Structure 1
């Protein structure tokens, strides 16, 4: 009886495919330089915005409006914003739209993807073609406006939630993941008496945590960044989301409206307030992303490779 020798890789040794060449010092140096330049190109604008929002009137005047090197910290811009007014109200509206919209979009996407991933479901091919049609023909803007207005959703937050409630790309990604689940697993659940809804909630969704987290992040970012729909459908200033307020401040040149007894003499510079609004707009997504990052690549690839 012969003994089988099993070769184990040495601990600490990089596992590299046989066809991949060993990296050269020059190649590694170029990669490091390119990655460093890419990171700086992203972080430097954020640094300038943050420093400008925390600068005093004198510092902004000396720097010409944009500050790169901080000279003290002045939080008057943030104090003015949180004292009340349009920005605080817009943050609340954006948070409400993001939370409700993400919940609605995930529910619709998961249900539609699960139904379209089962070949024996009713109208499987026709519904799949219907959902994939926007990939070829983008829906025009005028019919969308007429539908939203005809349903009585104009000037309500539902005009920001319902129209983008399902993304075909996200639907395809989730459907691809559901198709990869072995049919024998679902058949065994049906033999045990589980309905389709119970199989979805007890078997499929626990296996799809990664892809659901990534798709939820996509929807959350989309709802948080909504401004064009607000420009079309929202007329009342007290229903503006934060992106619409930011657009009016930066592009339309409107002055920030605040409340809380801030006098004209103690008002911080307009540039500092604008940059503070930008920071408040970006901060929630930056804060949430690290918790989703570990699922990001895995969730997208698992759903996309088999779609």
Structure 2
């Protein structure tokens, strides 16, 4: 029979559960407040400083936002940048990581040194801006993708994961006549799905939250991702223009509109996360084993 847990063990479990519950509440409650405020009336928002469940639900803020295509265009830009950027970054990171995982690669240690050097030192904003300008990427969505094609930390995780795969898999494939690309795409990647899913999530969140690069490189407001538009609405109270003929009702309170925009900008990435979360811990841990 399993012996009863000691008093110290039960006390530790209770304390651990209490601390994690408090952290979870501190993390979740602000978003619940934002969600509740987006459905609340102006009078209720003005009378309650912290609102979780509004007594009267209203969709006026969402109707107001979607009465123009500004938000939809911005979300479309963010989705395009996230999908294309994640696919491009995963292709570049995977191929780089696979090449560096090969111990017979000439100059492997020197290449790794220069790559890791970029984690510690970089040119800064002005040199990077000049490069983007001179290469013709300025004011294009490619400026949000190409300059950040590879994240060195993510690439190192993939490299370490590839090195931990059994060498017999590659040797067997090469005996059957497979080349390096065939080994990578038919053997290595299918065996590395936890790591691939984890790094894809990292890249996806990064591209979805693109803000600083959009501010620096995009002057056309029609190309703004949702995070930049969100800042215009929440901080500067601008960014959405309406025609009186399109929206004839009484506009909802600005606070309710701000909360609704935050919800709209947050929900897409929350929908994607659960599908990759099961691979997250496994992929990150397996790819972080020291070489």
- Deviation, 1:26, is 1.6
For 2:64, the equivalent position in structure 1 comes to 80
For 2:108, the equivalent position in structure 1 comes to 124
**8 Å Cα contact 1:160-1:229 kept in structure 2:** yes
- Deviation, 1:22, is 8.3
- Deviation, 1:135, is 2.1
Select 2:179's aligned residue among 195, 215, 218: 195
Q: Output the CA distance in 2 between the equivalents of 1:122 and 1:75.
A: 62
For 1:239, the equivalent position in structure 2 comes to 223
**8 Å Cα contact 1:86-1:258 kept in structure 2:** no
Q: Output the CA distance in 1 between the equivalents of 2:122 and 2:27.
A: 31
SS state of the match for residue 163, structure 1? helix
Q: Output the CA distance in 2 between the equivalents of 1:305 and 1:240.
A: 39
C-alpha deviations, 1:20-64, integer Å up to 9, x for none? x98522211111110110110011001100011111122223336
Write the mapping of 1:43-192 to structure 2, written as runs, cut at 5 A.
43-63=28-48, 67-192=51-176
Q: Which has more helix, going by share of residues? A: 2
**CA RMSD, aligned part only?**
2.0
Select 2:232's aligned residue among 232, 248, 252: 248
**8 Å Cα contact 2:68-2:246 kept in structure 1:** no
For 1:262, the equivalent position in structure 2 comes to 247
Number of aligned residue pairs: 289
For 2:18, the equivalent position in structure 1 comes to 33
**8 Å Cα contact 1:85-1:258 kept in structure 2:** no
Select 2:9's aligned residue among 24, 42, 46: 24
**8 Å Cα contact 1:227-1:243 kept in structure 2:** yes
Confirm or deny that 1:279 pairs with 2:279. Answer: no
Deviates more, 1:183-192 or 1:250-259: 250-259
SS state of the match for residue 305, structure 1? coil
**8 Å Cα contact 1:108-1:166 kept in structure 2:** yes
Q: Output the CA distance in 2 between the equivalents of 1:255 and 1:63.
A: 27
**8 Å Cα contact 2:85-2:149 kept in structure 1:** yes
What is the TM-score when the length of structure 1 is the normalising length?
0.89
**Structure 1: 5+ residue stretches without partners:** 1-9, 15-20
- Deviation, 1:256, is 3.2
- Deviation, 1:70, is 1.0
- Deviation, 1:123, is 3.7
Q: Output the CA distance in 2 between the equivalents of 1:157 and 1:255.
A: 19
Q: Output the CA distance in 2 between the equivalents of 1:255 and 1:95.
A: 19
**8 Å Cα contact 2:94-2:155 kept in structure 1:** yes
Which has the greater radius of gyration? 1
For 1:7, the equivalent position in structure 2 comes to none
- Deviation, 1:162, is 0.9
Q: Output the CA distance in 2 between the equivalents of 1:138 and 1:104.
A: 22
**Structure 2: 5+ residue stretches without partners:** none
C-alpha deviations, 1:120-143, integer Å up to 9, x for none? 224422322221112221331111
